[in-house]
Structure 1
Amino acid sequence: MTMHADEIDVSPELVARLVAGQFPQWAGLPLRPVPTAGTVNALYRLGERMVVRLPRVAWGADTELAERRWLRQLAPYLPVAIPTPIETGEPTDEYPWPWLVLDWLDGTNPIPGQLTAPVELAAGLAELVRAFWRIDLPDAPRAYRGGPLDTQDPHVRQAIAELTGTIDTDAAGAAWAAALAAPAWTGPPTWVHADLMPGNLLTTVDGRLSGVIDFATVGVGDPACDLIVAWNLLPAGVRADFRAAVGADDATWARARGRALAISLIALPYYRHTNPRFAAEVRYTINEIVADHRQDVG
């Protein structure tokens, strides 16, 4: 089932033709789709040590070349593995955008509510976030989600209206209002991944953080953007430890909770029928944030 009205069918046959046509040395390698909760890119594992990543939609296609540039520069700063670009595929008559071949990273996506080592995962995520905040590279792009939180207000309110009867819209609206009341970010530009969703994180067999993928949204912006993992993945029992480890003040924490809520509320009505796995993840996030807000107000 397609997720977007303008989505291209990135079929195995198409990918095989692209690989064989542009990188004939790999034409004989096994090619198999990678099941993900992703909404923008199609992934195909190529052989044992590579993955082909192709945008499904035009609005997700303009980051491939920029991402290739930044991955190599960011890698030395980060404490876990990130993809290494191997080759860039060119557009063809069949497929209109650049695409990437990257090295394959072993690991599994963590599942909210089913973590095997939440304490260790929270510590790894805190180390990752702090590492992003310390990056010092020139000519940084603006992060996709790095701007003021209130720019999301019209979209969030529309989503809440569309979700009437699906979630507790009064509670969600109250939690959103509380986030908007937090002081705005006024600090210096800070590097953020800006899309630390469960599907972009990799863990080892014992549940520890081992890698991060999909850097299409990376850049500088509000450091609160990368604290969304506190609600989209981590359980309530380790949330305070994660916050202490990153050193988030009240305003940053409130904006982070609002950012996680905005992403989830906007995504749920759009993907609830076309991407059940992602819809389940954003429902988890909404429930965690509503519960947090209720605890705050007593």
Structure 2
Amino acid sequence: MDMHADQLAVSPAAVRRLVDAQFPRWRGLPVTAVASRGTVNAIFRIGDGLAARFPLRPGDVTAVRRSLEAEAGAARELLGRTRFRTPEPVAIGEPGEGYPLPWSVQTWLPGTVAADDDPGGSAGFARDLAEFIRGVRAIDTRGRVFGGRGRGGVLRSQDEWVRVCFERSTALLDVPRLRELWDGLRDLPRGPEPDVMAHGDLIPGNVLVAAGRLTGVIDVGDLGPADPALDLVGAWHLVDPAVHGAFREELTCDDAQWQRGRTWAFAQAIGLVWYYADSNPSMSGLGRRTLDRLTADHALR
């Protein structure tokens, strides 16, 4: 089942032809579809060392190309800035063979995503994740601030989206309880901290693990300036509450920032449950698990 009503189709045969025509140096490398739980791109391996990524949603060709160029720039900016592996951009392909948009190629990072090997109970993983966030924050913003789209600015900017999610979730979730939680979180004040660099999407499908430790982070195209609390969503999507202490000790975030991180995690999780309920049960389940962690923490408080 497609995840999006307007989802684009791309077949291994079409990818093979696109690669051969546009990047003849890779003609001898096998092309293999990757079974991914991701929601933004269809992914194909090219040989052992490359990954081709094809946007799943239609768009204007020029706008999509600009977006892919921005993603490549973000990947270059993050590359080597922490001890954890991140992908390196390699090329941008052009539309063709029935696929209507530009597409990208980057290095393939071997490993297991956290969605398939849950590291949530590992204090070592919690510290690794906090170390990664600290390393990303250390990247110079060069005067850039949050751009105004998506998550990472003012918490109340999410009100309309959360309202829609409540309406779509009445048969799936305890909406009155969640509405009460949101009403208590949405007005948390932002302190004087300036925007810092953030990965922007620290969910299990974007994190590589081995033996309960963090080994790499992928899907880095959202890297950019944001509320310092934004990447704290990873504490709720990826880390069991029993080891939140290890995460907070490594990152040394204050209570106000921690609470804003809970709120950004809520705004992301509430949309995953209903949107992917049928088309991507793993992603829907992630939303449920995060909301369960948030509500349990709220009850303890």
| TM-score bracket relative to the smaller structure | over 0.9
- SS where residue 112 of structure 2 aligns? coil
| DSSP 3-state at the match of 2:38 | coil
2:276 to 254, 268, 271: 271
Q: 2:122 aligns with which of 98, 118, 122?
A: 118
Q: Unaligned regions of 5+ residues in structure 2, if any?
A: none
Deviation per CA, 1:211-262, whole angstroms, max 9, x where unpaired? 1111221110101110101111111110122122211112211111111111
Question: CA contact under 8 A between 2:151 and 2:158: conserved in structure 1?
Answer: no
Does structure 1 retain, via aligned residues, the 8 Å contact 2:206–2:217? yes
Amino acid at match of 1:94: G
What's the TM-score once normalised by structure 1's chain length? 0.92
8 Å Cα contact 1:79/1:127 also seen in 2: no
Matched residue, 1:282: 287
SS across alignment from 1:77: coil
TM-score by length of 2: 0.91
Say what the alpha-carbon RMSD is for the aligned residues.
2.0
Distance in 2, Cα, partners of 1:141 & 1:44: 34
Question: Of the candidates 129, 133, 142, which is equivalent to residue 129 of structure 1?
Answer: 133
8 A Cα contact 1:85 1:103, kept in partner: yes
Going from structure 1 to structure 2, the CA distance change for 1:139 and 1:32 (only over 3 Å counts) comes to: farther
Partner residue in 2 for 1:5: 5
- Aligned twin of 1:146: 152
Asked whether 1:173 is paired with 2:171, we answer no
| Greater mean alpha carbon deviation, residues 68-77 or residues 37-46 | 68-77
1:139 deviation in Å?
A: 6.3
Corresponding pairs, count: 295
Structure 1 Cα separation of the partners of residues 98 and 143 of structure 2: 34
**1:238 to 2:243 alignment:** yes
The alignment partner of 1:252 has SS state of helix
1:101 to 101, 105, 121: 105
Q: Share of identical aligned residues, percent?
A: 37
Shift of 1:210: 0.8
Deviation of 1:192 (Å): 0.3
Q: What is the CA–CA distance in structure 1 between the aligned matches of 2:232 and 2:56, rounded to whole Å?
A: 27
Shift of residue 91, structure 1, vs aligned partner: 2.5
Over residues 48-73 of structure 1, what are the superposed CA-to-partner deviations in whole Å (9 max), with x where a residue is unaligned? Answer: 11111111113593521111122222
Mapped partners of 1:112, 1:42: distance in 2: 18
Unaligned runs of 5+ in 1: none
Does 2:264 correspond to 1:256?
no
Report if the CA contact (8 A) 2:74-2:224 is conserved: no
8 Å Cα contact 1:159/1:265 also seen in 2: yes
Which residue identity does 2:45 align to in structure 1? R
Contact 1:43 1:54 (8 Å CA) reproduced: yes
- Rounded to whole Å, the distance in 2 between the matches of 1:117 and 1:267 is 23
Aligned 1:141-220 pairs, distance under 5 A: 142=146, 144-204=150-210, 206-220=211-225
